[in-house]
Amino acid sequence: MSVYHGEQGIKQMIYDERKAFVDQMWERYKGTLDKNGNAGDLRILAELCEKLPFFENSEVGQEISRLLHKHSSSSNDYYTAQRYQLETKQILKLWDDFKRDDGRKKYDSVGFRRTIASIMGRAWNEKSVHEIIKARNKKLGETD
């Protein structure tokens, strides 16, 4: 497991997380191709578009995602739940990495929660990231 330090470390962590996400999603997509190589699950490609920054113009990814979802032939609640679980795990990992290097007793960095939300893209914002962290801390018996 990599340990990241400072601003350059955060940039490298974001790059590593995005690269791993793209690699994982591409493998999942290839697993949905049929035996003739026809298009697989377009929702996987849509999620990739939602999460990638497109040179800091998130509207590009959102529009590509919207079009892919429009042409996707099925809606699957299982897929949505699975994606939420993966995103929650990623949020908590980013938060824990931040806490490990922060050194304060109380971890209430609104700025870093915003950074996490921007990394996650889609419907995530600072408040929703905070709710995920609060819920996990409550389960662990920690206070907010």
pLDDT digits 0-9 by tens, 108-117: 678 888 888 8
Determine the Cα–Cα distance for residues 91 and 51; give it in Å rounded to an integer: 13
Whether residues 118 and 67 fall in one domain: no
Q: What is the number of domains present in the chain?
A: 2
Q: What is the pTM of this model?
A: 0.51
pLDDT digits 0-9 by tens, 79-97: 666 777 888 888 888 888 8
Domain residues for the domain of 37 are 1-75
Please, what sign has the CA dihedral across residues 77, 80, 83, 87? negative
Q: Are 40 and 46 in contact (CB under 8 A)?
A: no
The structure tokens listed for 12 are 């490298």
Whether residues 88 and 118 fall in one domain: yes
Whether residues 10 and 55 fall in one domain: yes
DSSP 35: T
Whether residues 61 and 123 fall in one domain: no
